[in-house]
Amino acid sequence: MTTNYIKKILEANVYDVAIESPLELAGNLSDRFSNKVFLKREDLQSVFSFKLRGAYNKINSLSSAQQKVGVVTASAGNHAQGVALAASKLKIAATIVMGTNTPEIKVSAVRKLGAKVVLQGNNYDEASEFAKGLEKELGLTYIHPFDDPEVIAGQGTIAMEMLRQHTGRLDAVFVPVGGGGLISGMGTYIKYLRPEVKVIGVEAEGSACLHAALQAGKRVRLNPKDLDQFADGTSVSQVGKETFRLAQTCVDEVVKVTVDEICAGIKDIFEDTRSISEPSGALSVAGMKKYIEQHAAVGETYVAVVSGANMNFDRLRHISERTDIGERREALLGVTIPEKPGSFRRFCNLIGKRNVTEFNYRFADQSGAKVLVGIQTRMNSEDKQQILNKLKKEYQVVDLSENEVAILHVRHMVGGTTASLPNEKIFRFEFPERPGALLDFLNLMGNGFNITMFHYRNHGAAYGRVLAGIEIPADAMSQFKKDLQQMGYRFWEETDNTAYKMFLTDLSSD
């Protein structure tokens, strides 16, 4: 079976639409991590993603009868553009089903390529189900984003180019993973020609379906409602059947990375290329950095696939805010200092000549003031620990660097307070960015619950983040949570969150 895929990859017809993307030395990354790092620049394709390779190879392989009827697919992003471009090149009608929360920039890009766009469903699974209904109803051919031999072979051409471009020592290739089409195609080719080269997949922690499948020894379906949507291009609930079969034979390891580590990866790519990758496009760099740290690797040669650059401009603010945390360059601390003259200057003297990224002050009472401070640190855990130890000798200090409520919300809310509200409960939500989502939530509240606090920020993603305070009597809590689960929004109760208690409660009543 492997030789069949090698033949398919060698014969794949992708260069009517794709370029042979460059393999570039990443000088800054190489110097920082004492390893030679190359970037395979699939973000430079005409649709800013590798997806056009597999889409074109599949559509071009269809019979003339199939091409005459047309094709359909479901995708919120890069695969949609790949199918639309391929269909346009081959003069074939294409219907693309996209979720109702798909950003307008992506919808417009697909329409400009000549495809018909149908907005249906709140996530990929719902859009895919509708697209498959159109397939049966209209006789269209469904172009799967990853679980198809021709699509897999088209993506495998990236490895064919890479090994031709780099003939010297190569220790590992880092590949972003969603449904597995890219890593199964590339991995199969790499292991056939260069079996000594490690093939390492990289997934976002909140959507690691390949990691879960390899751990279980079988395909695992993650709950679509629980998937993290930050790296939306790779947010898939279940790895493909064929892609998993291939991955079991060619993937050496899977590294999981956090949102902050992905943001840091975007910055790393920018510093070497002056290009901005999308979150899924930076997975490989984030995973490579984590792998180097875990294995204390020095003097090795790596390739990281930069898979796409379809970034919404309004996401950059959020990414920039979280980059320093991903690089471990910022410590976000909650500090209680004495409420008396000279306290602030003494606090700054203890910090020393360090860059303060933000400083939020909150009067508590005469016994002390609450300060939320961001302090830039060097890229090692020892430096952060040193400043913590130094401050803890003088003050009460809480490390909030990994506290999602503090990072996403409280740092923008310090200064607000509540009166004593014994029934106030704090919840963190992810709202789908679609018309009516907020109204659905408020309708659930009805007239029975009082909203005491509400903070929302649009991060340019498919899901917005909300922090809400709600008065809920104890005997109503169980039903309230059941109603939330039925509505389908992801939520976490944060009533005991340290950042909330420090900065948003009625401190004088403690």
Is residue 107 exposed (0-12), middle (13-18) or buried (19+ Cβ within 10 Å)? Answer: middle
Residue of 51, 106, 267, 425 with catalytic role: 51
Q: Is 501 a catalytic site residue?
A: no
Class level of CATH domain 328-402: alpha beta
Domain ranges of the chain: 2-47+149-324, 51-142, 328-402, 415-509
The pLDDT value given to residue 367 = 64
Q: What is the pLDDT of residues 101-134, one digit of tens each?
A: 676 777 888 999 999 999 988 767 788 899 999 9
154's tokens: 């088209």
The pLDDT value given to residue 68 = 96
Domain 328-402 in the same topology as domain 51-142: no
CATH of 415-509, one of 3.20.20.70, 3.40.1020.10, 3.30.1490.20, 3.30.420.610: 3.40.1020.10
283's tokens: 């997975």
Residue of 49, 128, 207, 307 with catalytic role: 307
478's tokens: 């169980």
H runs (alpha helix) in 170-258: 181-193, 209-216, 241-250
Looking at the structure, give the CATH architecture of the domain made up of residues 2-47+149-324: 3-Layer(aba) Sandwich (3.40)
Q: Is 307 a catalytic site residue?
A: yes
Is residue 380 exposed (0-12), middle (13-18) or buried (19+ Cβ within 10 Å)? Answer: exposed
Fold entry, domain 51-142: Rossmann fold (3.40.50)
The 3-state DSSP class for residue 141 equals strand
Which residue numbers in the chain have pLDDT < 70? Answer: 1, 101, 103, 123, 324-329, 339, 341-342, 344, 361-367, 379-381, 414-420, 432-448, 457-463, 506-510
Exposure of 272 in the CB half-sphere (CA atoms within 13 A): 25
What pTM was computed for the model?
Answer: 0.77
The 3-state DSSP class for residue 123 equals coil
